[in-house]
Structure 1
Amino acid sequence: MGGIPGLDERTVSAAGVDVHVAEGGAGHPVLLLHGFPQTHLAWRHVAPSLAEDFRVVCADLPGYGASSPPAGEDSPAAYAKRETAATMVALMRELGHERFSVVGHDRGALVAFRAALDHPGVVENLAVLDVIPTVDNWAALHGAGGVFAFHLYLLAQPTDLPERMVGADPDAFFGHFLDGWTSEPDAIPADVRSAYLSASRAPGSIHAICQDYRASAFVDAAHDEADRDAGRRLTMPVLAMWQDPGDFVLPFDPRQVWASWAPDLRTRVLPSGHFLPEERPAEVTAAIRELLARS
């Protein structure tokens, strides 16, 4: 699998992390952050279009893809979204961008949310795709709904059990999500699927992914709760997009959840599976452009 057409790839050192990025275009800077179990290639359809009018930076999250793990102690706290968000802000500064917009999907959206909440003077616009803040997500999970989110519990186990279990057949584990979370069979073609699996199957990558999920269980939720209790809210324009759940009844209302954090909110619901940037790239790109028009 090659790179994203029109974007140049390199590795940039930021906050002690070697962050792999693909970047291109000119104009207002936009940081695109991928989800699980993916890499910056998740934006291969969206980024080239945005790069026609914006400076686009697609980054592999620390420990994912070709980016190194966080610097310092190997602990869930090092993978906290607060720490990863600070690394992404440092990355953009290394690239010459003091202010920028950020768009995230899944895990990347949690990092984007934290960047916007912790660095309101830096993040001008925020878009979050198919996710809600960690504290709200844990509160909503109960009963049979937990069946569909089993990986949140498995990967967060505080021992090396998940590493050992996933490591026994990583392609089957990660492939389960790549295949089962999409409503479009061709949305993730064989070469991209292979690239995602290749990036995820190494023992170090598996461990980094588990640490990311441990952070959500044991660190991120506490950060969110403290900020919510302190009345902190997102001060910039926010776009929240999610897949139409169809007949499945969500245990939460995404619009209501995001409205509690974002006074300046717009929303989109798309007929799609989980991987919105790959299944509905035209609609996702159009919605992002509409948000960025406010810059």
Structure 2
Amino acid sequence: MTLTIPGFDYRRVTVADGVSLNAAVGGSGDPIVLLHGFPQTHLCWRHVAADLAADHTVICPDLRGYGASDKPVAGDGDTYSKRTMAADIVALGRAIGFERFALAGHDRGALVAIRAGLDHPEVITQLASLDVLPLLDMWEVLHGRSAAVGFHLYLMAQNAGLPEELIAGAPDAFFGHFLDAWTQDPTAIPADIRAAYLEASRAAIPSIVADYRASATIDVEHDQHDRNAGNRLRMPVAVLQQDWGAALGFDAAELWRAWAENLTHTTVPWGHFMAEEAPAAVAGALRELLTKPAGQPVPR
């Protein structure tokens, strides 16, 4: 049985040549797009989306390469760059009828959201990031033994072939490891949702690896260019983040301030999958963000 967000309509939307995204759409009012992380699908937003749909149009897609969305072969490094994936989301919003919208992302989806905010400031009105650092900072803070927590980042950064083969040898053990290790409340991801995540991930190993590989290559180049040029997020930005700094020795809020002019950074006590562990609190934080005046982009 295919799981869905109750009360949401499902659409298949073409966003690029040969690429369509599966998207759940519900509610009415000012739009917000919610982007999932790894190793999940749009279902991770099921509780938050239902809450926000009371007074917003809520759009929850599966990212390119994940869930029921198309998974193009990674012919070059740009196929799964965050720039390309961000362009998908801008095209999705436009196809559904919105030239501007708020954007919230968790994990991989947050990296896409950040790139969308940098590349398309005229489109993104407010931006929320759940439990990631901007890519350049992420690579810089991982070092020594503490970097073991990010072993998967280094594995999937390798050239095509070996990572895919290793993961395909025990996909449920690999993807299930993160669902278990990163969750403080095991009941937050019930058995049917967990099974759906594992099934979707098994079917998407090459594209998931390509997404991560891009984050160690072309995505870093794009972020470095923006850092060198002084490009920053101009819209209101809300960050919800675990206290990574305590373990890895950095000040997350300080790192974020270099990227966002209008920042609200909150250290939270929940596990990584916070939209599922603390949906009411996450929805409340997003509602607070949505009350802030939409960013007016500076011409670039």
Normalised to the residue count of structure 2, the TM-score between the two structures is 0.94
Size of the aligned set, in residue pairs, is 291
Deviation per CA, 1:186-213, whole angstroms, max 9, x where unpaired? Answer: 01110000000000112xx100000001
Q: Please state if 1:173 is matched with 2:174.
A: yes
Task: Give the drift of 1:245.
Answer: 4.8
Q: Determine if contact 2:275/2:282 at 8 Å carries over to the other structure.
A: yes
Q: Determine if contact 1:26/1:51 at 8 Å carries over to the other structure.
A: yes
- Residue among 284, 287, 290 paired with 2:285: 287
Structure 2 residue aligned with 1:98: 99
Q: Determine if contact 1:244/1:272 at 8 Å carries over to the other structure.
A: no
Which deviates more from structure 2 when the two are superposed, residues 17-26 or residues 265-274? 265-274
Cα distance in 1 between the residues matched to 2:160 and 2:116: 29
Structure 2 residue aligned with 1:63: 65
Normalised to the residue count of structure 1, the TM-score between the two structures is 0.96
Structure 2 residue aligned with 1:199: 200
- Residue among 268, 271, 274 paired with 2:272: 274
Structure 1 residue aligned with 2:15: 14
Structure 1 residue aligned with 2:144: 143
Which deviates more from structure 2 when the two are superposed, residues 27-36 or residues 6-15? 6-15
RMSD (Å) for aligned C-alpha atoms: 1.3
Cα distance in 1 between the residues matched to 2:244 and 2:222: 28
Cα distance in 1 between the residues matched to 2:87 and 2:112: 9
For the residue of structure 2 that corresponds to 1:117, the secondary structure is helix
Cα distance in 1 between the residues matched to 2:174 and 2:38: 12
Q: Determine if contact 1:141/1:251 at 8 Å carries over to the other structure.
A: no
Q: Please state if 1:112 is matched with 2:113.
A: yes
Structure 1 residue ranges (4+ consecutive) displaced by more than 4 angstroms after TM superposition: none
Q: Please state if 1:242 is matched with 2:241.
A: yes
Task: Give the drift of 1:75.
Answer: 2.6
Q: Unaligned 5+ residue runs, structure 1?
A: none
Deviation per CA, 1:241-286, whole angstroms, max 9, x where unpaired? Answer: 112459x523322111111111100122221111010111111000
Structure 1 residue aligned with 2:228: 229
Cα distance in 1 between the residues matched to 2:185 and 2:74: 40
Q: Determine if contact 2:244/2:252 at 8 Å carries over to the other structure.
A: no
Cα distance in 2 between the residues matched to 1:132 and 1:188: 24
Task: Give the drift of 1:11.
Answer: 1.0
Structure 2 residue aligned with 1:44: 46
Structure 2 residue aligned with 1:155: 156
Which deviates more from structure 2 when the two are superposed, residues 114-123 or residues 12-21? 12-21
Structure 2 residue aligned with 1:256: 254
Q: Unaligned 5+ residue runs, structure 2?
A: 294-300
- The one-letter amino acid of 1:98's match is E
Q: Determine if contact 1:238/1:266 at 8 Å carries over to the other structure.
A: yes
